Chain A
Amino acid sequence: MRHFEQELEQLKGKLLEMSALVEASVQRSVAAVTQKDRSAAEQVLRDEARINALEMEIDEFAINLLATQQPLAADLRLVVAALKINTDLERMGDLSVHIAQRAVSLLSEPVIQPMVDVHHMSSLVESMVRKSLDAFVANDADMARSVLSSDDAVDSLRTASYHELVSFMEKDPRNIPQALDLIGITRSLERIADHSTNIAEDVMFLVKGIDVRHHAEARQ
Chain B
Amino acid sequence: MRHFAVELEELNQALLEMGAMVESSIHCSVQALVDRDERMALRVMEDEKRINQMELDIDARVTRLLALNQPVAGDLRLLIMALKINTDLERMGDLAANMAERAITLSKVPPVKALIDTPRMASLVEDMLHRSLDAFVKRDAVLAAKVLPADDEVDSLRDKIYNELLEIMQLNPSVVPAAIHLMFVARNLERIADHTTNIAEDVIFLVRGVDVRHHATESKV
Binding site for B on A (CB under 8 A): 45, 48-49, 52-53, 55-56, 59-60, 62-63, 66-67, 70, 72-73, 76-77, 80, 83-84, 87, 97, 101, 166, 169-173, 176-177, 180, 183, 211, 213-214
Task: List the 3 closest A-B pairs by CB distance, nearest first.
Answer: A52-B214, A214-B52, A70-B70
Contact B76 A67 (CB under 8 A): yes
Report if B20 contacts A (CB, 8 A): no
Report if B145 contacts A (CB, 8 A): no
Stretch at the interface among B111-119, B127-135, B147-155, B171-179: B171-179
Nearest CB to that of A177 among chain B residues?
B166
Contact B173 A173 (CB under 8 A): yes
Report if B105 contacts A (CB, 8 A): no
Report if B84 contacts A (CB, 8 A): yes
Contact A77 B63 (CB under 8 A): yes
A176 touches which one: B80, B170, B174 (CB < 8 A)?
Answer: B170
Report if B56 contacts A (CB, 8 A): yes
| Chain B positions 48 through 89: 1 when the CB is less than 8 Å from some CB of chain A, otherwise 0 | 010011011001101100110010110011001001100100
Give CA–CA (A191, B70) in the complex, Å: 35
Can you sample 9 A-B contacts with CB below 8 Å? A52-B213, A62-B80, A84-B83, A169-B173, A171-B173, A173-B170, A173-B173, A180-B183, A213-B55
Further contacts, 4 of them, CB under 8 A, given A77-B63, A176-B176? A52-B214, A56-B211, A72-B67, A83-B83
Number of A-B contacts (CB under 8 A): 82
Given contacts A63-B80, A76-B66, A80-B66, contact A48 B221 (CB under 8 A): yes
CB distance from A100 to the nearest CB of B (A): 10
For residue B180, which residues in chain A have a CB less than 8 angstroms away from its CB? 166, 180, 183
Contact B63 A56 (CB under 8 A): no
Contact A49 B218 (CB under 8 A): yes
Report if B169 contacts A (CB, 8 A): yes
Binding site for A on B (CB under 8 A): 49, 52-53, 55-56, 59-60, 62-63, 66-67, 70, 72-73, 76-77, 80, 83-84, 87, 166, 169-171, 173-174, 176-177, 180, 183, 211, 213-214, 218, 221
Give CA–CA (A59, B66) in the complex, Å: 16
Given contacts A48-B221, A52-B213, A56-B211, contact A83 B173 (CB under 8 A): no
Nearest CB to that of B211 among chain A residues?
A56
Contact B173 A66 (CB under 8 A): no
For residue A180, which residues in chain B have a CB less than 8 angstroms away from its CB? 166, 180, 183
CB distance from A166 to the nearest CB of B (A): 5
For residue A170, which residues in chain B have a CB less than 8 angstroms away from its CB? 173-174, 176
B177 touches which one: A45, A101, A166 (CB < 8 A)?
Answer: A166
Give CA–CA (A62, B167) in the complex, Å: 48
Give CA–CA (A9, B170) in the complex, Å: 55
For residue B67, which residues in chain A have a CB less than 8 angstroms away from its CB? 72-73, 76
Contact B176 A166 (CB under 8 A): yes
Given contacts A76-B66, A80-B66, A84-B87, contact A173 B214 (CB under 8 A): no
Give CA–CA (A72, B65) in the complex, Å: 11
Contact B169 A173 (CB under 8 A): yes
Contact B56 A213 (CB under 8 A): yes
CB distance from B184 to the nearest CB of A (A): 8
For residue B53, which residues in chain A have a CB less than 8 angstroms away from its CB? 214
Contact B56 A211 (CB under 8 A): yes
For residue B183, which residues in chain A have a CB less than 8 angstroms away from its CB? 180
For residue A166, which residues in chain B have a CB less than 8 angstroms away from its CB? 176-177, 180
Given contacts A67-B76, A70-B70, A80-B66, contact A56 B173 (CB under 8 A): no
Contact A169 B63 (CB under 8 A): no
Nearest CB to that of A52 among chain B residues?
B214
Give CA–CA (A66, B221) in the complex, Å: 33
CB distance from A151 to the nearest CB of B (A): 14
